[in-house]
């Protein structure tokens, strides 16, 4: 399938900030996913524009007048959300074309992704109607556009949090989860789009548009396939030099590729070609929701590191050894500290029961915010250190820790006062099956993240996020050098 036409920035913005929306296919009966649930979510999220529900057999829903069809609308809406059965979609598109309604999202499934001749034929009709009438179509088989700043939240986190993250995804379910996940960490979304089969507008169109959108600073993608690999490569190569692209590529395994083919009706492509793509574009390759969110958090909250040397602060000899191993396995360096740093540490770290060095084994960093602040200042001055991971233990009965005032607010205040600090993250060990530990860990993580300080549930995840952060900025630095 080929594009009907280019997606201009004006058209792109109209999809995400429509003044009025026609919802084709609402039901006045019991709750039903589709037009009815989209209408409800838009109302619940406080969408300020006009909503025009369409159903030929009803008069009113949720306080709104229902119109029998697109042709009977009193004005031309900016956006149509089409939620009728697949066989009726072509006629709806014809009506949209007749009144000049060009921006269309098709929620409906039942097209090429089914693998059946009828679905393939219907999808070809969509392309033909789009080309003949210059229609811009998101879908079919997708959740469509999402924009918290415009209260365009028919799905995802509602009302959501506005920010600078752009999301482009073939999967509606994963896109919804990503908006909820980032919202819980205080990271806002500028625009998100679930584009499904990508019959008219596809991943490359939205990547190009988000690259030009000054309100978007980070682009996260979930893709199972790309229709025009050459164009996608060229645009990603250009975008990556100014904005980070994070790509979760679905269908890497044989089983995943087979499922992807039935999900959106397109093959995922050879793995070796994707590996070359990541090398050439600087796109950050992730393989899970957690890994995707972890690097989003790092890019959103941290400055560019000068290198990949990490200083690890924690307590417990075995734990320090394990943390050092984890960081090295994830691609980071654990350098020896400078002579002056070691001299300073030896003055304040007891010989017995602690280890002065990198990693630093010193129990007092868990309980004394002032002591931790001094250690961090030492790390920020050390030329061998580019990043810092603080292992933040949660107080519990298993450890011999006295009752004390929570040092977290003081730690956060200190970090916020160091505007030029090196990238610093926290690892909060809340795993292990204890529900109370999970609860405390989640609350502590939220405290840090909502204060603009990345916090991860393990050292491994923190280290991987920092390696991705270093790798992307190193790619940009090399790209800039090659242009001079």
Give the chain's count of helices (H) and strands (E): 17, 18
Q: Indicate if 165 and 295 belong to the same structural domain.
A: yes
Number of domains in the chain: 3
Residue 263 shares a structural domain with residue 246:
yes
CATH number of 35's domain: 3.40.50.720
Whether 192 and 91 share a structural domain: no
Is position 2 within any domain? Answer: no
Task: Examine the pLDDT at 87 and tell me if it is beyond 90.
Answer: yes
Whether residue 157 lies inside any domain: the answer is: yes
* Residue 412 shares a structural domain with residue 365: yes
Same domain for 287 and 323, yes or no, is: no
CA 228, CA 230: separation in Å to the nearest integer?
6
pLDDT in tens, 284-327: 999 999 999 999 999 999 999 999 999 999 877 778 889 999 99
Spatial separation of the C-alpha atoms in residues 343 and 71, rounded to whole Å: 80
Please indicate, yes or no, if residue 322 is contained in any of the structural domains.
Answer: yes
**Pair (339, 425) in one structural domain:** yes
* Residues 133, 280 within the same domain: no
Does residue 134 carry a pLDDT above 60?
A: yes
Kind of pairing, strands 144-146 and 189-194? antiparallel
Question: Where is the domain boundary, 138, 164, 191?
Answer: 138
Residue 3 lies in a domain: no
Looking at 301, 321, 344, the residue that finishes a domain is: 301
User: Whose CA is closest to 154, among 233, 79, 243?
Assistant: 79
User: What pLDDT, on a 0 to 100 scale, did the predictor assign at position 425?
Assistant: 97
The residues, any chain, with a CB within 8 Å of residue 225's CB and separated by 6 or more, are 170, 251, 260, 264, 266, 267, 268, 269
Predicted confidence at residue 245, as pLDDT, reads 98
CATH number of the domain to which 155 belongs: 3.40.50.261
Q: State which of 248, 278, 301 marks the end of a domain.
A: 301
Domain hosting residue 370, numbered range = 310-483
Instruction: Answer yes or no: do 257 and 363 share one domain.
Output: no
Give CA–CA dist 315/367, Å, rounded: 11
Q: How far apart are the first and last CA of the chain?
A: 40
What is this structure's pTM?
0.92
pLDDT at residue 252 tops 80: no
**Which band of pLDDT confidence, cut at 50, 70 and 90, is reported for residue 161?**
very high
Do 314 and 343 share a domain, yes or no? yes
Strands 103-106 and 136-138 come out as parallel
Are both 445 and 364 inside the same structural domain? Answer: yes
């Amino acid at each position: 399938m080929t594009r009907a036409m280019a997606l201009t920035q004006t058209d792109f913005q109209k999809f995400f900030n429509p003044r009025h929306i026609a919802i084709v296919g609402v039901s006045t009966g019991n709750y039903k996913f589709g037009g009815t649930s989209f209408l409800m979510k838009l109302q619940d999220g406080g969408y300020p524009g006009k909503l025009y529900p369409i159903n030929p057999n009803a008069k009113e829903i949720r306080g709104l007048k229902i119109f029998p069809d697109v042709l009977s609308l009193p004005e031309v809406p900016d956006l149509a959300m089409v939620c009728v059965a697949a066989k009726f979609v072509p006629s709806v598109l014809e009506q949209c074309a007749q009144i000049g309604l060009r921006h269309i999202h098709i929620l409906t499934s039942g097209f090429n992704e089914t693998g059946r001749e009828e679905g393939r034929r219907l999808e070809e009709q969509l392309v033909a109607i789009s080309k003949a009438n210059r229609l811009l179509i998101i879908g079919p088989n997708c959740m469509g556009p999402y924009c918290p700043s415009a209260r365009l939240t028919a799905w995802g986190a509602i009302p959501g949090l506005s920010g600078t993250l752009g999301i482009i995804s073939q999967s509606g379910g994963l896109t919804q989860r990503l908006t909820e996940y980032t919202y819980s960490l205080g990271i806002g979304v500028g625009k998100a789009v679930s584009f499904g089969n990508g019959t008219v507008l596809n991943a490359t169109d939205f990547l190009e548009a988000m690259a030009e959108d000054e309100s978007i600073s980070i682009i996260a993608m979930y893709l199972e396939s790309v229709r025009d690999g050459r164009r996608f490569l060229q645009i990603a190569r250009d975008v990556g030099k100014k904005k980070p692209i994070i790509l979760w590529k679905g269908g890497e395994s044989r089983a995943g590729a087979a499922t992807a083919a039935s999900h959106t009706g397109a093959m995922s492509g050879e793995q070796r070609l994707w590996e070359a793509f990541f090398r050439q574009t600087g796109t950050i390759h992730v393989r899970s929701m957690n890994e995707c969110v972890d690097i989003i958090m790092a890019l959103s909250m941290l400055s560019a590191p000068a290198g990949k040397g990490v200083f690890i602060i924690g307590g417990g000899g075995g734990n320090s050894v394990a943390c050092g191993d984890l960081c090295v396995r994830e691609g980071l360096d654990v350098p020896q500290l400078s002579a002056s740093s070691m001299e300073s540490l030896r003055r304040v770290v007891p010989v017995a029961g602690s280890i002065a060095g990198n990693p630093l084994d010193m129990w007092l960093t868990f309980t004394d915010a002032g002591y931790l602040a001094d250690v961090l200042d030492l790390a920020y001055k050390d030329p061998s250190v580019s990043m810092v991971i603080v292992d933040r233990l949660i107080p519990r009965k298993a450890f011999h820790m006295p009752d004390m005032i929570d040092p977290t607010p003081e730690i956060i205040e200190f970090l916020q006062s160091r505007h030029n600090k090196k990238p610093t993250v926290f690892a909060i060990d809340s795993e292990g099956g204890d529900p109370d530990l999970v609860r405390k860990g989640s609350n502590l993580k939220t405290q840090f993240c909502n204060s603009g300080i990345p916090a991860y549930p393990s050292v491994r995840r923190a280290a991987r996020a920092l390696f991705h952060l270093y790798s992307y900025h190193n790619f940009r630095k090399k790209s800039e050098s090659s242009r001079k």
